[in-house]
């Protein structure tokens, strides 16, 4: 039996989302751009999904643009801003962003757009004082993730957005790990752009969205007039429908799911503490994503632990699944200053709504044994 505990990498497709997708795979498969009546159901489905997703984050339907996922949404936000900004204003981001943001920033630096990378504290928090030290009226965009994909720390997005706006800058947030798991209201938080990916909240892979308050970006794909002329290409109707259903369901069940995940996390950590396993819990101790447990175990190899857990049928990771080929200590763990004798022993356990207490006990008991080898 497999125990899946890498829900930050991807989540199990929700059965309601799957059922909602099936008709658009098998029956109503027309291209929504078709001029004939057979395309009508696909067009209506996209419209309904866009409205449903917008309601989940308190946006307007015309502010939601469908993409292939979080990576494309992040790329579009950063590069789309750079291509629209002829004054070459600077971008500010943080040192612990996902590589979709960091690598996009490296790209625009080659286009002569200055980029500043904010340090974080030992809990992974981007402090408002830090942003205040870096920001000026020459900043065009601030991009800080809502919650970190490795250590789960939730950032002070509302306060950071206020600082950005006070200097005339736009504010973007990579909310890929947060959407569907913690409350997000783009109007209350003051977010101008937001990236999300369906497979992180029990939707299908290969689909996501970019919320954009106003049309401040250049089109990302050239071709047809899809997505209000901003992203050409035939829409992935089944995936769009599945994403909307999965997100709405997770929003409805959010409080219940969070309570379940916090209880499981506390159980796992208490078992490890009672057994005197020498570990550090990385990230903010309380203001973190439900179910995110990033541990550094003294004197161990995170890669070794991951493979030994895999042999026991337990799936965890050493960090971002998007960077699994790179077995060095992650940039996030380096940025928060995890001690040298702990940092190499870092693993990420991310529980989901389908995990059980029995599975958590099995993970903890296996880790205890491995820590003593």
Which residues are catalytic, by number? 322
**Contact between residue 67 and residue 211 where contact means Cβ atoms under 8 Å apart:** no
Q: On the CB side of 34, how many CA atoms lie within 13 Å of its CA?
A: 13
Helix (H, G, I), strand (E, B) or coil at 47: helix
* Tokens at 126, concatenated: 């981007």
Q: Which residues contact 317 (CB under 8 A, 6 or more apart)?
A: 6, 8, 9, 306, 324, 347, 348, 350
> 10 Å Cβ neighbour count for 211?
27
CA distances (Å), origin 325, targets 319, 320, 328: 11, 10, 9
> Pairing between strand 170-174 and 139-143?
parallel
Q: Which of 152, 207, 148, 203 is nearest to 174 (CA)?
A: 148
CA distances (Å), origin 103, targets 1, 192, 210, 220, 298: 38, 21, 18, 17, 31
CA–CA separation, 143 and 254 (whole Å): 25
Which class for 300: exposed (0-12), middle (13-18), buried (19 or more C-beta within 10 A)?
buried
Q: Which residues contact 339 (CB under 8 A, 6 or more apart)?
A: 280, 296
* Tokens at 352, concatenated: 């989901």
């Amino acid at each position: 039996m497999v125990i899946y505990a890498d829900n930050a990498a991807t989540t199990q497709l929700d059965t309601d989302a799957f059922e909602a997708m099936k008709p658009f795979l098998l029956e109503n498969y027309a291209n929504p751009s078709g001029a004939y009546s057979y395309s009508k159901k696909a067009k209506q489905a996209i419209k309904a999904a866009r409205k449903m997703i917008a309601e989940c984050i308190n946006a307007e339907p015309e502010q939601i643009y469908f993409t292939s996922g979080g990576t494309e949404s992040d790329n579009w936000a950063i590069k789309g801003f750079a291509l629209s900004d002829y004054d070459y204003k600077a971008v500010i981001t943080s040192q612990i962003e996902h590589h979709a943001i960091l690598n996009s920033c490296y790209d625009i630096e080659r286009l002569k757009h200055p980029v500043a990378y904010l340090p974080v504290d030992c809990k992974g928090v981007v402090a408002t004082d830090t942003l205040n030290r870096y920001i000026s009226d020459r900043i065009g965009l601030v991009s800080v993730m809502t919650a970190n994909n490795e250590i789960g720390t939730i950032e002070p997005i509302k306060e950071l957005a206020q600082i950005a706006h006070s200097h005339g800058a736009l504010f973007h947030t990579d909310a890929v790990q947060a959407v569907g798991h913690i409350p997000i209201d783009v109007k209350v938080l003051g977010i101008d752009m937001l990236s999300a990916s369906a497979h992180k909240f029990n939707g299908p892979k290969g689909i996501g969205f970019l919320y954009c308050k106003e049309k401040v970006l250049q089109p990302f794909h050239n071709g047809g007039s899809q997505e209000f002329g901003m992203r050409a290409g035939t829409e992935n109707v089944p995936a769009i429908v599945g994403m909307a259903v999965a997100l709405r369901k997770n929003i409805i069940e959010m409080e219940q799911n969070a309570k379940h995940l916090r209880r499981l996390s506390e159980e796992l950590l208490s078992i490890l503490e009672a057994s005197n396993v020498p570990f550090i819990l990385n990230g903010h101790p309380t203001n973190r994503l439900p179910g995110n447990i990033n541990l550094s175990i003294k004197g161990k190899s995170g890669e070794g632990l991951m493979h030994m857990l895999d042999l026991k049928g337990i799936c965890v990771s050493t960090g971002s699944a998007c960077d699994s080929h790179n077995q060095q200590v992650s940039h996030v763990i380096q940025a928060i200053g995890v001690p040298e004798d702990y940092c190499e022993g870092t693993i990420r356990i991310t529980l989901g709504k389908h995990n059980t207490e029995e599975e958590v006990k099995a993970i903890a008991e296996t880790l205890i044994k491995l820590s003593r080898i």
